Amino acid sequence: MTQFALKQVTCAVCGGVSEQRTLQCVSTFGRPDLDGRPSVMARSTMGLWTQLCPACGYCATTLTQALPRAREVVHSVTYRARLHHPEAPALFNRFLCLALLHDAEGLVRDSAEFRTHAAWVADDAGLEESARRCRSEAADLLLNAPPLKHWEHREDLDWQGWRGVQLVDLLRRAGRGEEALREVERIRREGASSLMKQLLTYESAAIARGDTGRHTVDEGLGLPSPPELQPIKDPLLEYLVGNYHRLLTDTEQRASSMETFNTEEGPRWATDHPEILALLTEGKAGLGRALERRLLAEHPDEVVINRCPKCGVPARTAKARQCRACPHTWRETPR
Ligand SMILES: [Zn+2]
Ligand SMILES: [Zn+2]
């Protein structure tokens, strides 16, 4: 769920007080675009990612905080011209003002991020040339940025190389295909997860056909829908997840909803996590059987497997008296 709140905020640049809408929480549902743009729910809140002080024109993610050179930048001619640029959407101007504020501090990665956000606003407004320019500028900043100290260390194993994929996508969509292909090679040398390597293969193919359009991570992986919407497919596993979700570990839950994607070597599970892969060595059906054994052994008083007395397929719930696989229905509690 997405929630908003109204709050009195004091501007760190001019001390002016204004009422600002702030984002309390955002649900993300589904994977992002290849340039990092979040899926539908989060993207619709983009207007609330920045605050604007009505008194002095300071733009920030939080008006109560200011970078050391903020006052100077806010009063500069360049900044005022950008903020009040009459032909661009107001939100586009705001994101570029944020980029200017971060340029002044030498915070190139932040500046690149705000230019990318401006590109998304331009996409929505159909301003193709502005979008292309913002992406190109963001890519230049990232190409010249000093390497990160701990390169993507805190990220999930399966998303290692994701920053690189986003840079490739910025270059591709800016029409700089050759540079994008050089980045693809560099990222492959540095090492990326199986998922990210698949996205790089997808990017390379898109570049080869001159495609500069928007594509999603799901498209890149050949997935039809986000994992939350994927059927589990094994009836026993579906029964256990549906009825005893709370008894499953995080790893078991992730393994249960794991999808496969296609690579040049054939289909494979969409993860590099060894503990998840271990649970899936005998597929979803094998995971279902293993979970049934574990749950019955550890929670004998609580767990009931309600199978159809005729065909043996688990029903949907513990109380169901109708088979999902055959036409059979039954009255008394099956055993
Ligand atoms: Zn102010
Ligand atoms: Zn049946």
CB burial class (10 A; 0-12, 13-18, 19+) of residue 113?
buried
**pLDDT at residue 90 in the model:** 95
**pLDDT at residue 232 in the model:** 67
Q: How far is the CA of 85 from the centre of ligand 1 (A)?
A: 19
**pLDDT at residue 260 in the model:** 83
Q: How far is the CA of 74 from the centre of ligand 1 (A)?
A: 9
**pLDDT at residue 330 in the model:** 87
Binned average pLDDT, 10 residues per bin, the chain of 335 residues: 79 96 68 86 77 96 95 97 95 97 96 97 94 98 82 72 95 98 94 92 96 92 62 84 94 90 80 93 93 95 92 89 88 59
Ligand nearest to the CA of 66: 1
Q: How far is the CA of 310 from the centre of ligand 2 (A)?
A: 5
Q: How far is the CA of 256 from the centre of ligand 2 (A)?
A: 23
Find tokens 């899926």 and name the residue.
Answer: 39
* 3-class secondary structure, 87: coil
Report the distance separating Cα 325 and Cα 162, nearest Å. Answer: 41
Closest Cα to residue 251, out of 216, 276, 228, 223?
A: 276
Closest Cα to residue 158, out of 285, 286, 31?
A: 31
Domain boundaries, the chain: 1-105+115-125, 147-229, 230-298
**pLDDT at residue 162 in the model:** 92
Contacts of 14 (CB under 8 A, 6+ apart): 53, 55, 56, 58
CB atoms within 10 A of CB 185: 11
**pLDDT at residue 38 in the model:** 85
Ligand nearest to the CA of 306: 2
Ligand nearest to the CA of 322: 2
Report the distance separating Cα 307 and Cα 187, nearest Å. Answer: 50
DSSP assignment of 62-131:
STT---TTHHHHHTSHHHHHHHT-TTS-HHHHHHHHHHHHHHHTT-HHHHHHHHHHHHHHHHHHT-HHHH
Ligand nearest to the CA of 326: 2
Report the distance separating Cα 279 and Cα 112, nearest Å. Answer: 40
Structure tokens at 136: 């190109």
Q: How far is the CA of 13 from the centre of ligand 1 (A)?
A: 5
DSSP 230: S
Closest Cα to residue 108, out of 140, 76, 155?
A: 140
Ligand nearest to the CA of 311: 2
Q: Are 108 and 96 a contacting pair, CB within 8 Å?
A: no
**pLDDT at residue 170 in the model:** 98
59-60/3-10 β-pairing? unpaired
* 3-class secondary structure, 71: helix
Q: Which amino acid is at 45?
A: T
Alpha-helix residue ranges (DSSP H) falling in 144-261 = 162-173, 177-190, 194-208, 217-221, 235-244, 250-256
Q: How far is the CA of 106 from the centre of ligand 1 (A)?
A: 22
Q: Are 195 and 270 a contacting pair, CB within 8 Å?
A: yes
Structure tokens at 70: 């903020």
